[in-house]
């Protein structure tokens, strides 16, 4: 299928690894000119070919989103696609947290700053150049946990639920002006959040009295009742993002797409 994306300009946050790296690679393969924003680069990002510009940035800085968008407009002449992928634990934070009382006020502030307020600022910066184009697609990477309230990571879940609400509101306001806004809600994905040393798999392994590989391959899928029996791969999320970014999805806006291995059971 031709996604009709060649020559378009995209900004992707959290682009150096995991889901963001997979989205960056996928859009480059479709001929998109990509501004990849992340705190640091990675060998995997640097190995990609195509019209790619890496912008080192820290989205905890309120000025960063506007600077990223300005780079896209300056270097590539405009903006068509925004993928707000950066999220999860704020810099220096490790999840999961067990229970509501485990998070302080500062923990809540940092979580919302990274997972919601940075998106608000990036969208605010992106809207003007998209309006100038007469169209655009914004894809916000949310989480299946936004739909599944639980005491584990309650601050993260609440921030992502806010992101879903924001997405609906943005779609309602800007779809008549040609800007579509959707969310993709992954479940557990085989990324560094799970696999890195000291990451979620190690933390759960310590609680469960097992090892990291067992958590990733057996304990977590069983604990989360994943219908497929496995964590998703980043590319599986990237494929959905690419379709939503495409004019092929011209009538899709204000929607949420679960790519969650069957985690969500609700209708």
Compute the distance between CA of residue 171 and CA of residue 255 in angstroms, rounded to an integer: 9
Q: Which of 79, 64, 84, 114 is nearest to 182 (CA)?
A: 84
Phi first, then psi, for residue 18 (nearest 5°) are: 60, -135
Number of residues assigned to the chain: 267
Answer yes or no: 240 catalytic: no
Report yes or no: 33 and 8 within 8 Å, Cβ to Cβ. Answer: yes
Of 156, 174, 193, 194, the catalytic one is: 156
Contact 185, 259 (CB under 8 A): yes
**Residue corresponding to tokens 């599944």:** 148
**Residues pairing with 149 in the sheet:** none
Angle at 32 between CA 74 and CA 50, to 5 degrees: 90
Question: Which residues are designated catalytic?
Answer: 156
């Amino acid at each position: 299928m031709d996604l009709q994306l060649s020559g378009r300009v995209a900004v992707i946050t959290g682009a150096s690894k995991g889901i963001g790296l997979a989205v960056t690679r996928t859009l480059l393969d479709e001929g998109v000119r990509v501004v990849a924003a992340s705190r640091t680069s990675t060998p995997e990002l640097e190995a990609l070919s195509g019209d790619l510009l890496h912008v080192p940035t820290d989205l905890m800085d309120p000025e960063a989103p506007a600077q990223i968008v300005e780079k896209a407009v300056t270097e590539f002449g405009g903006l068509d696609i925004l993928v707000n992928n950066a999220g999860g634990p704020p810099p220096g934070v490790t999840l999961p947290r067990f229970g509501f009382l485990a998070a302080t006020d500062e923990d809540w502030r940092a979580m919302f700053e990274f997972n919601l307020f940075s998106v608000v600022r990036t969208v605010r910066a992106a809207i003007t150049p998209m309006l100038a184009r007469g169209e655009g697609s914004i894809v916000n990477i949310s989480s299946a946990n936004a739909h599944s309230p639980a005491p584990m990571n309650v601050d993260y879940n609440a921030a992502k639920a806010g992101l879903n609400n924001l997405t609906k509101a943005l779609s309602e306001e800007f779809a008549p002006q040609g800007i579509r806004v959707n969310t993709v809600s992954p479940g557990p994905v085989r990324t560094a959040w799970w696999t890195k040393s000291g990451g979620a798999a190690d933390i759960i392994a310590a609680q469960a009295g097992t090892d990291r590989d067992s958590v990733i391959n057996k304990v977590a899928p069983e604990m989360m009742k994943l219908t497929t029996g496995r964590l998703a791969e980043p590319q599986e999320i990237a494929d959905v993002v690419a379709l939503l970014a495409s004019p092929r999805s011209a009538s899709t806006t204000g929607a949420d797409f679960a790519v969650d291995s069957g985690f969500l059971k609700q209708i």
